[in-house]
Amino acid sequence: LNDYFKKLGLKGTSISRRMLDFLARKRGKENYTTAQDMALILRKLYRREFMDLETSERCLRYLKHQKVKNRIRAKLPPDIIVANKSGTERYVCHDCGLMLTPKGGMLICVLTYRAPSKKAASEFISRLAFYAYNYLQQI
């Protein structure tokens, strides 16, 4: 996977352990990504350039069915389409996605580390998404 990530152009993403493998984590193995890498993937999906058109469409369909709605989705009007992927682990709370509005699409990617709480991180992400949405409506 790490070799494939490099081929995709991801510079700060690496997998050193399986998800939820807390023993490997105790041994110092960790998985990493960056907002820039996630934005690159989302941009490719938005432009339908991720692998091929069919794969891009399938990935967007999955992302539009995200069950975690307390971050990017939380403060947006219900008619706005959001295709996003959230993540929560020890010390991190993330959400990266596309807001698809009548005024156009906007990519938003927020990765938090060591926020006071997951609730505070989720609130921060939802507020940023709301501000970004409002900005898009004004231009």
Q: What is the pLDDT of residues 1-50, one digit of tens each?
A: 999 999 999 999 999 998 888 898 889 898 899 999 999 999 999 999 99
Q: Supply the pLDDT for residue 20.
A: 82
| Residue 107 backbone dihedrals phi, psi, to 5 degrees | -95, 135
* pTM of the predicted structure, to 2 decimals: 0.89
Beta-strand ranges (E) seen in 39-134 are 81-89, 92-101, 104-113
Q: Supply the pLDDT for residue 22.
A: 84
Q: What is the pLDDT of residues 111-128, one digit of tens each?
A: 999 999 999 999 999 999
